[in-house]
Amino acid sequence: MAVNFPTITADALHPVAGVKLGFAQAGIRKADKKDVLVVLLDEGATVSGVFTTNAFCAAPVTVCKQHLAAQSGIRALIVNTGCANAGTGELGMTNAQATCDELAKQLGISANQVLPFSTGVILEHLPMDKLLTGIAPAIENLKEDNWYNAAQAIMTTDTLPKAVSRQITMDNQTITLTGISKGAGMIKPNMATMLGYLATDVAIAQSDLDELTRQVADQSFNSITIDGDTSTNDSFIIMASGASGVRVEKNTAAWHEFAAALQSVATELAQLIVRDGEGATKLISIVVEQATSTAEAKQIAYSIAHSPLVKTAFYASDPNLGRILAAIGYAGVADLDVAALELYLDNVHVATRGGRHPNYTEEQGQAVMNQSEITVRVVLNRGTANATVWTCDFSHEYVSINADYRS
């Protein structure tokens, strides 16, 4: 059902020097499925992350934050699917730490140089015997040219592995950016269980990478939604190995070039999640313009993106566009003057000054609704801030997937 999902092949994913990946089938999720990923970074890499804002954040998220704060030089990541290790109290923390301990022991590094990640069912404990048994085989097959397998190893309800790779030239040298993501439901990042890992071979200062990571996440993974459910485990990590020898200094021309490339890879990775959203048949871009603040623009965009009535209308290709106006109206923006507002569906002018545009015809709306990719554009006429949010429609298949997920 994925919407205009690009063909991704292992060949197209450039290795990133200084970053090795290995996987295992540990039987945590399903038999015969990759469900453990280990990433090993050469010494000296810089690593930044942003994490879920869910108060019920998973144990591995808490451990990640502690280990990043310790600034002891992150050397490895471990990801398991099949169990989120969230809503698991003290035993959850013990299990996340034990996972780091075991990986550190086998790699000869210290436990606080490891970042742990989990995704899957909440409120269940990690099957530690299976997970720990998976570590040795994952280390065994560590190699730089392993991104496609890595993308497969972090999938849960995803129907397709998600990866993006790009090379740019800076200082006459080739720089590589390669990333993978996963997530299909429980997606309203802030972060969505959305996991994203992006590696590059530039060298960059910790504080600069931290800044870029937040900035890039806001306009990619923090601008998508499938169902409005912010997961307990969302994590987005950028790793810079420095192996290319190219150093990116803040506010130089190279910085802007690198930031743009990083943003484009992250945005594409985030959009892949929406294209493969649970039951998705359409990709909807919601653009809100001329708001008083980015927060206000996002508030209205998310209100539209989360409305089950709007999403089912897109699924049905039904230009029942009053539902969009209703969602704008209940977004909770104070003093919203609906008489100043314009609504467009792609280039069709649907509503003006609080009502139906006099030239709008149902046939025009129908033609756009029949497409597989649609842009809803709302012009508020009250400020200069803009925001874009990407979402999908709401189908029978979404209900089937989420009613049957565990069974």
Residues flagged as binding site for substrate? 156, 182, 193, 278, 402, 407
Q: Strands 385-392 and 224-225, how do they pair?
A: parallel
Q: Smallest distance, Å, CB 93 to its own copies?
A: 10
* Cα–Cα distance for residue pair 217/55, rounded to 1 Å: 19
Give the pairing type, strands 348-352 and 247-248.
unpaired
Backbone angles phi, psi at 295, to 5 degrees: -60, -40
Asked if residue 338 binds its own copies (CB under 8 A), the reply is: yes
* Residue 295 in the binding site for its own copies (CB under 8 A): no
Please give the annotated binding residues, written as ranges.
156, 182, 193, 278, 402, 407
Q: Give 137 or 322: the residue with its C-beta nearer to its own copies.
A: 322
Q: Measured from the CB atom, is 198 or 286 closer to its own copies?
A: 286
User: Minimum CB separation from its own copies for residue 179, in Å?
Assistant: 25
Q: Does 327 bind its own copies (CB under 8 A)?
A: yes
Q: Which is nearer to its own copies, 42 or 124 (CB)?
A: 124
Per rule CB under 8 A, is residue 321 in the interface with its own copies? yes
CA 104, CA 353: separation in Å to the nearest integer? 62
Q: Which of 7, 251, 347, 407 binds its own copies (CB under 8 A)?
A: 407
Look at residue 357 and give its three-state secondary structure: coil
Can you tell me the distance from the alpha carbon of 250 to that of 272, in angstroms, rounded to the nearest whole number?
Answer: 29
Q: Is 193 an annotated catalytic residue?
A: yes
Q: Is residue 250 at the binding interface for its own copies, with CB under 8 A as the rule?
A: no
Written as one letter, the residue type at 33 is: K
What is each CA distance from 179 to 10, 211, 316, 383, 390, in whole angstroms? 12, 18, 34, 35, 19
Residue tagged active-site, from 157, 178, 193, 230: 193
Residue 312 as a binder of its own copies (CB under 8 A): the answer is: yes
Q: Name 342's Cβ contacts closer than 8 Å, sequence gap at least 6.
A: 349, 351, 352, 378, 379, 381
Applying CB under 8 A, the span of 5-13, 24-32, 152-160, 227-235 interacting with its own copies comes to: 227-235
Is 94 one of the binding residues for its own copies (CB under 8 A)? no
Tell me the CA distances in angstroms from 373 to 3, 182, 378, one per residue in order. Answer: 8, 21, 17
> Measuring CA to CA, how many Å separate 86 from each of 82, 155, 237, 333?
12, 18, 19, 33
- Does residue 119 bind its own copies (CB under 8 A)? no
Q: What are 390's two structure tokens?
A: 């990407």
Least Å distance between CB 185 and its own copies?
A: 7
Asked whether position 395 contacts its own copies by CB under 8 A, the answer is yes
345: contact with its own copies by CB under 8 A? no
Give yes or no for residue 186 binding its own copies (CB under 8 A).
yes
For position 230 contacting its own copies by CB under 8 A, the verdict is yes
What whole-number distance in Å separates Cα of residue 388 and Cα of residue 42? Answer: 36
Antiparallel, parallel or unpaired: β 162-170 and 76-83: unpaired
> Can you name the residues that pair with 391 across neighbouring β-strands?
225, 284
Question: Whole-number minimum distance, CB 169 to its own copies, in Å?
Answer: 42
Shortest approach of its own copies to residue 296 CB, angstroms?
13
State which of positions 351-380 bind its own copies (CB under 8 A): 351, 353-356
Report, as residue numbers or ranges, the catalytic residues: 193
Residue ranges that bind its own copies, judged by CB under 8 A: 53-57, 84, 86-92, 121-125, 185-186, 188, 190, 227-232, 306-309, 312-313, 315-316, 318, 320-323, 325-331, 333, 336, 338-339, 350-351, 353-356, 394-396, 398-400, 402-407
